[in-house]
Structure 1
Amino acid sequence: MRNLPSIQWGIILLCLLLLSGCGYYFPHVYEGGHKVIYMPAWKNRTNKLNLDMKIYQSLSRWFQKSQSVDLSKEKSGADFILAGEILSIDLPTVSWNSVSDATGTKVNLTVRYALKDVQSGKIIWEVPRKLYTADYTVQTATSAADDQALATIIEDMSENIYLGTLNKIRKQQAQSPPPK
């Protein structure tokens, strides 16, 4: 019974530490002022049909994670423009079994993209050339295996673009003078 007050103080101290927070923020969520990002269809310089649409859909799913950022197909009213281009896709088969059947595939997707502030006209983030790759092991190399590897690339790329965009918006907002 004598240790009860020290236990109570320990619990109170722990609660205070938890309530004060540790300065960590969740990078997948932007909680600043509402922003609209206009994203036109990406230019597709490859022969892979609907690749631009798959990228748009994947990016849309990522941007839905933040209630303060909307992705739009309308330029009017947008705060930022996120434009991109699919430069190339390469589907080289990379491994073979003992009877010369393909057992693995590697997909290479090269893109470029930029985020532009509509109000200032400045490009606040530009990635002039980015290579994304995915390896996929298969029993027999098929276009379905290539599509699955490409889906992995698109998901990873979309997450990188989403997090990078939120980071740039946060930095820009921190540097902006407060509204009068």
Structure 2
Amino acid sequence: MRAIGRRAALACLVVVAMATSGCGYTLSGRGNFLPSYIKVIGIPIFANNTSVYDLEQQVTQRVRTEFLGRGRYQVLGVTDGADAVLSGTIAGVSLEPSGFNENNQATRYIVRVQLKVEFKDVKANKVIWENGSLEIVDEYDLSTGTGALDASAFLGQNRAAADRISDTVARRTVSSILEAF
């Protein structure tokens, strides 16, 4: 009986040791690889080189909100007084039909948004992170009664799609900057 009791105690000890020891992995979204002196981030309105009206306003606002949601930074809409600056350009938006009804009319679209984004440490005067070819791709059902001939018309009529794209841009950009991807 004593041997069984010792084995059980040893097994419990091993389980406790394994449970309390770290495996080296952490949850994503928790990292922060920015210099500690970066407290204020300037995020001016992204440039918009597309025909999609107001997309730059929406994307910029979502990126600002995402940084604020991380709780560590003050976010400004200007570059003056910032420790780091995030600048971006929406370089392209394209629309591609991906689903059709019985009349061969498009009912589903793939939307691609191309961006150029740069995050610069103002104090050290160096680029911390950049992506000159960030692409967000998502698929959307066409809203009933809307006729989408181009990306501008589609996103103008389908605000849910524009919201989702903006949220994806914000999450991916901020995560990439903070988690050093």
TM-score by length of 2: 0.74
Give the secondary-structure state (helix, strand or coil) at the position aligned to 2:27.
coil
2:173 to 146, 150, 161: 161
Q: CA RMSD of the aligned region, Å?
A: 2.9
1:139: how far off?
A: 6.7
Q: Which runs of 5+ in 2 are unaligned?
A: 147-153
- Report if the CA contact (8 A) 2:29-2:179 is conserved: no
1:9 aligned to 2:25? no
1:77: how far off?
A: 4.3
Structure 1 residue aligned with 2:151: none
* CA distances 1:2-43 after superposition (whole Å, capped 9, x unpaired): 333433333333333333311112230235736332111111
1:18-37 matches, within 5 Å, as 18-30=19-31, 33=36, 35=38, 36-37=40-41
Deviates more, 1:102-111 or 1:113-122: 102-111
Aligned-pair identity (%): 23
* Aligned-partner Cα distance in 1 for 2:44–2:55: 14
Give the secondary-structure state (helix, strand or coil) at the position aligned to 1:133.
strand
Structure 2 residue aligned with 1:98: 102
Deviates more, 1:23-32 or 1:116-125: 23-32
The alignment of Structure 1 onto Structure 2 pairs a total of residues equal to 169
Structure 2 residue aligned with 1:135: 139
Q: Which runs of 5+ in 1 are unaligned?
A: 172-180
Deviates more, 1:130-139 or 1:142-151: 142-151
Give the secondary-structure state (helix, strand or coil) at the position aligned to 1:113.
strand
* Aligned-partner Cα distance in 2 for 1:89–1:65: 27
Give the secondary-structure state (helix, strand or coil) at the position aligned to 1:30.
coil
TM-score by length of 1: 0.74
Structure 1 residue aligned with 2:160: 148
* CA distances 1:115-136 after superposition (whole Å, capped 9, x unpaired): 1111121122222233322222
* Aligned-partner Cα distance in 2 for 1:86–1:151: 15
Q: Which amino acid aligns with 2:14?
A: L
